[in-house]
Structure 1
Amino acid sequence: MLEKLTPQPPDKIIELIGMYRADPRTEKVDLGVGVYKDEKGATPVMRAVKAAEKRLLESQTSKSYVGLLGDLDFNAAMRGLVLGDAVPAGRVAAAQAPGGTGAIRQLLELVKLANPGAKVWYSDPTWPNHPAMVRHVGLASATYRYFDSATCTVDFAAMMADLDGLSAGDVVILHGCCHNPTGANLDAAQWDQVTDLLNAKGAIPFIDFAYQGFGDGLDADAAAVRRMVTRVPQMLIAASCSKNFGLYRDRVGIAMAVAQDAATADLAKGALSSLNRLNFSFPPDHGAKVVEIILNDPELRADWQAELEEMRTRMLELRAGLAEALRRETNSDSFDFVAHHRGMFSRLGLSQEQVMKLREESGIYMVGDSRVNIAGLPADKLDALAKAIVRVAG
C-alpha cells in the first residue's frame, strides 16, 4: 500500500527554515518564518503566560478529559475577546481547536457537512494553507483578486468585481486584520461594501482571525468583524492564540459558527462536537486553560495586554524604520506602503529572482513572493537591509 504514495511537495516556508539553518554566514537575516521575535531574535514566553502556567501547575488536580468542545470557559472568554457584545452568546457555537489551523479545518469540515456543494472563495494572494485545506476537504474553490502588486495596496475594485460572481451558499474567506501575506487591509467603508455584497448574494463570510492585537490594537482589529457580525445572518470565525499569546507550539485556537438564532447555533454546536470527535476527540487543554486564566483575571489580562501592545508598537516602529531607510536609499516614496501595512507581514513586490539574489548575495531570507516577517527585521541593520533590497530591485 505505502509504495503507492507519491512524493508531496515541500512546504516552502519549512524548506526556507532548513536553508537558513544550513547557511554558515554570521550576518544572515531570517525574514521568512512567521513567528514574533524580540530585539534579541528570540520568540519569548509572555509574562502573563508564565504566571498563568505557574498558577495552573499549582492548582490543577487532574489531567482527565475536559469535553469534546474543549474548555467552555475558554470558549466564552475567546468569544468575548473576538466579538465583544456584538452578538448574543446564544447565537454562537464555539469549539476549541488545535490552533487557528485546526479551527479553519474544522469549519471547512462544517461547511462540507452543511452544504457540500458550496464554493469557498479566498483572496489572491492568501496564506497557502487556505487553498491546500479547501482542496483536501474536497470543496470547490475560487479566488478573488486582492492585492495590486504595482501599488502594494488592496485592489478593491478588482476584489468586488470578482466577488460579484458569488452564488447563494458560497463561503468567502476574509482576513479579519493583518492580511497574510500582504499586510494590506480593507478599511471600514470597504468592509461595509463587502458585507452588503455578501448579503445581497446570500454568501457566508468566513473570518480568519489569526492576528488580533498585532495591527491597530485588540478592539480596533476586531471592529470590522464585530460590525459585520451584526449585519449578517451567519458567519464563521477561526481565531488563533498563537501570535497574540505567543502559544505557537501549544496549538490554541477556536472555531466559532454564528447562526441566525439559538436553535440553529445548537445544531452547529452538535456538529462541531461530532467533527472534533472524528478528528481528534478532545482538544489539548493546557494552552487553552492558560488563555482562560489570563482573560478572566484582571491583573493578568492587563499585563498581557500591556506586553502585547509593546510587541505591536515595536512592529510599527520597525515598519517605519524600514520605510524610512528605503526612502533614503531610493530617494522616493515607492516603499512607503511598508509603514502603512499592518501586522506581522508585508509583501515587498520583489520577483522570485530578486528574492533568490538577496538570499545568495546577502544572506537575507524571505518567502519567494517577497513576504517579509516585520518582527524579524534587525533594528540596527535597517540601512544595510534597505541597500541590499534596492540593489537587487535595480
Structure 2
Amino acid sequence: MSNTRTKPNSFSDVPAAPVDPMFVLKKEYDQDAYPLKVDLGAGVLRDQQGACYELAVVKEAKRQLEELHLSHDYRPTTGNEAFRKNAARLMFGDQCETIKAGRIASIQTVAGTGACRIGAVFLKKYWSSTSSSTPPSVHIGTPTWGNYHPLFKHAGFETSIETYPYLDTSQDIDLDSVLTALNSAPDRSIFVFQGCCHNPTGRDYSMSQWTQIAEAMQAKGHFAFFDTAYQGLGHSAPEDAWAVRHFTERNIDILVCQSFSKNAGLYSERVGALHVLCATPSIANNVLDQLRSLMRWEVSSAPAYGAELANILMSNPALQARWQTELGTIRQGIASLRKEFHRQMTEYFKTPSPRTGTVDGWDHILKENGLFSWTGLTAAQTRSLIDKHHVYLPGNGRINVSGLNATNITRVAEAFNDVIKSSM
C-alpha cells in the first residue's frame, strides 16, 4: 500500500476575495518610482512633505507615557476605564447629564471600524423592528464610506440594506431625499449617519437640517447609528459632536462609533470607542456586559498603547488645550488648501467642473469640511491622472485635501485641468 498522500483540497472552492481599491491604490503608489508623485488617496493627515503628520502634542504624550513604565499585562475586555470615560466626555460633553446618570454604556474598540463592527453585531442581536418576522432595515445615504455595506452584511443584515441620495445634482445636501427616506422607512429602522466631515463628500448637515432629521427619527422610532471618525477636524470638537449631543438630549436611540485615528494621528494604533445610549443605568449595565461579551468573542480586548496616549491627551488639561489648539491650526491649513485649489481651478486654469461643465461647479470645495473633497471626476479621469501625471486618488474622484501642499498644488491643478479638458 502506498504511503503517498494527496494534498488536502478542503478549500479548493474558496474564491479570491474582492480587491480593496484603497489598498490597491496605496500599493501602486508605493511602487511608483516617480519622484514627484502625489498621494491624494487614503484619509491620512499629511505634512508638507506628504508624510503622515504626527501631532506635536502626541509626541509629548508619548514622552509622558514612557515615564509611566507600564507593563504588557492583559487589559480588561471593556478596555481602559479612564479612556472610556474621557472618550465619552469628549463626545457627549463634560456636563452631559446622560453620562452623570449612568445611562451610556461605553467600551474601547479596535478603532472606528471595530466600533462599527461591534455596534452592527449588537444591533443585529438586540434591536428589533415592529414586526417579529421582519428584521430592521439599515439605511445608508450614497455616496458613502465604502466599508459600511460589507460591514453590515457581514454582521447579518445581508438582505435589509437600503440606500437614499445624500447629495443632489448641484453637490448640496439632498434634504428632501433624506427626509423622504426617514418618513417612508418602516418604524424602528436603522439609519447610518456620519457625525461630521462626511466621507467621501465633505458635505455635512447644518444644525437646522440635523434638527429636522432628529424630529423625523423620533416620530418613527428609528435608531441612529453615528460614525464619528473626524471629531475636531471639521470644526471644534464640541461643534463636530453637535448632532450626537442633540440626539442624546432628545433621547433618540443612538450608538456612537468614535475614532482617534485622524484627530490624534494614531492610525496604526487602532484607538476607538463605542457608546450606546440607554434608558436607565441598569439597562446600561446590561448593554455594557453584552458589549464586553462581543469584544471577548471577537478580539478579547483592544490594543492598550494608543488608548493610553489618547487618554493622556484627554485627561491632562494642559495637553487637551494644546491638542484642540493644534487641531484648530490643522483645520485652518486645510481650509487654506481648499481656497487655493479652488482659485487654481476657477481663476488660473478656468477648468470646467466635470460634474456641471461650468467653472463655478467647483464652488462646493469651499463648502466642504474635513479632509475630503468630492471632485466629480470619473473613474477614467482618475486613471488618467495616475497614469499620465502620477497623481493618485480613488476611482470615485475623492481627494484627500491634506495631500496637497505648496509644492504640488499647482501641478495637481494643472493635471486636473489637462485630464478634464482632454476628455471633453
Q: Same fold (TM over 0.5)?
A: yes
Indicate the percent of aligned positions where both proteins have the same amino acid.
Answer: 32
Instruction: Kindly indicate whether residue 110 of structure 2 is the aligned counterpart of residue 112 of structure 1.
Output: no
- After superposition, residues 223-372 of structure 1 pair within 5 angstroms as 223-328=242-347, 329-330=349-350, 332-372=359-399
1:388 corresponds to = 415
1:133 corresponds to = 151
Deviation at 1:5, TM superposition (A): 1.4
Which whole-Å CA distance do the structure 1 matches of 2:98 and 2:174 have between them?
34
Aligned 8 A contact 1:152 1:349 in 2:
no
- After superposition, residues 60-209 of structure 1 pair within 5 angstroms as 60-84=69-93, 85-89=95-99, 90-115=102-127, 117-139=135-157, 140-148=160-168, 150-209=169-228
Instruction: Kindly indicate whether residue 27 of structure 2 is the aligned counterpart of residue 8 of structure 1.
Output: no
Question: CA, structure 1 residues 156+59, in 2 after alignment: closer, same or farther (shift >3 Å)?
Answer: same
Aligned 8 A contact 1:233 1:259 in 2:
no
Deviation at 1:26, TM superposition (A): 2.1
Aligned 8 A contact 2:92 2:245 in 1:
yes
> Is the partner of 2:203 in helix, strand or coil?
coil
2:403 corresponds to = 376
Which whole-Å CA distance do the structure 1 matches of 2:406 and 2:161 have between them?
40
Deviation at 1:24, TM superposition (A): 2.6
2:4 corresponds to = none
> Is the partner of 2:162 in helix, strand or coil?
strand
Which whole-Å CA distance do the structure 2 matches of 1:157 and 1:87 have between them?
33
Which whole-Å CA distance do the structure 2 matches of 1:330 and 1:271 have between them?
57
Deviation at 1:61, TM superposition (A): 4.1
Which whole-Å CA distance do the structure 2 matches of 1:282 and 1:156 have between them?
40
Which whole-Å CA distance do the structure 2 matches of 1:104 and 1:230 have between them?
22
Which whole-Å CA distance do the structure 1 matches of 2:97 and 2:372 have between them?
30
> Is the partner of 2:399 in helix, strand or coil?
strand
* 1:24-53 Cα deviation digits (max 9, x unpaired): 322221111110001121213322222222
Deviation at 1:136, TM superposition (A): 0.9
Question: CA, structure 1 residues 225+233, in 2 after alignment: closer, same or farther (shift >3 Å)?
Answer: closer
Identify which range, 191-200 or 153-162, moves more after superposition: 153-162
Deviation at 1:228, TM superposition (A): 1.8
Identify which range, 15-24 or 384-393, moves more after superposition: 384-393
Identify which range, 269-278 or 349-358, moves more after superposition: 349-358
- Which amino acid letter does the alignment assign opposite residue 297 of structure 2? L
Deviation at 1:126, TM superposition (A): 0.8
- Which amino acid letter does the alignment assign opposite residue 24 of structure 1? A
Which whole-Å CA distance do the structure 2 matches of 1:60 and 1:2 have between them?
46
Deviation at 1:380, TM superposition (A): 3.0
Q: CA RMSD in A?
A: 1.5
Which whole-Å CA distance do the structure 2 matches of 1:386 and 1:55 have between them?
42
- Which amino acid letter does the alignment assign opposite residue 9 of structure 1? P
Aligned 8 A contact 1:167 1:202 in 2:
no
Which whole-Å CA distance do the structure 1 matches of 2:35 and 2:59 have between them?
32
* 1:164-215 Cα deviation digits (max 9, x unpaired): 2222221111000000001011111110111111111110101100000110
Deviation at 1:87, TM superposition (A): 4.0
Identify which range, 183-192 or 156-165, moves more after superposition: 156-165
Deviation at 1:262, TM superposition (A): 1.6
> Is the partner of 2:270 in helix, strand or coil?
coil
* 1:87-129 Cα deviation digits (max 9, x unpaired): 4211100000010000000000110110362221111111111
Identify which range, 274-283 or 329-338, moves more after superposition: 329-338
- Which amino acid letter does the alignment assign opposite residue 333 of structure 1? D
Rg (Cα) greater in structure: 2
Identify which range, 94-103 or 50-59, moves more after superposition: 50-59
Deviation at 1:393, TM superposition (A): 2.1
TM-score normalised by length of structure 1? 0.96
Instruction: Kindly indicate whether residue 58 of structure 2 is the aligned counterpart of residue 58 of structure 1.
Output: no
The runs of at least 4 consecutive aligned structure 1 residues that moved more than 3 Å come to none
Which whole-Å CA distance do the structure 1 matches of 2:340 and 2:97 have between them?
39
Aligned 8 A contact 1:86 1:227 in 2:
no
Which whole-Å CA distance do the structure 1 matches of 2:23 and 2:183 have between them?
36
Which whole-Å CA distance do the structure 2 matches of 1:249 and 1:198 have between them?
35
> Is the partner of 2:377 in helix, strand or coil?
coil
Which whole-Å CA distance do the structure 1 matches of 2:76 and 2:32 have between them?
45
Which whole-Å CA distance do the structure 1 matches of 2:167 and 2:150 have between them?
20
Aligned 8 A contact 1:144 1:163 in 2:
no
- Which amino acid letter does the alignment assign opposite residue 224 of structure 2? P
Question: CA, structure 1 residues 323+61, in 2 after alignment: closer, same or farther (shift >3 Å)?
Answer: closer
Deviation at 1:269, TM superposition (A): 0.7
Deviation at 1:232, TM superposition (A): 3.0
Identify which range, 130-139 or 294-303, moves more after superposition: 294-303
Question: CA, structure 1 residues 19+167, in 2 after alignment: closer, same or farther (shift >3 Å)?
Answer: same
Which whole-Å CA distance do the structure 2 matches of 1:298 and 1:196 have between them?
36
- Which amino acid letter does the alignment assign opposite residue 29 of structure 2? Y
Instruction: Kindly indicate whether residue 231 of structure 2 is the aligned counterpart of residue 212 of structure 1.
Output: yes
Deviation at 1:2, TM superposition (A): 2.5
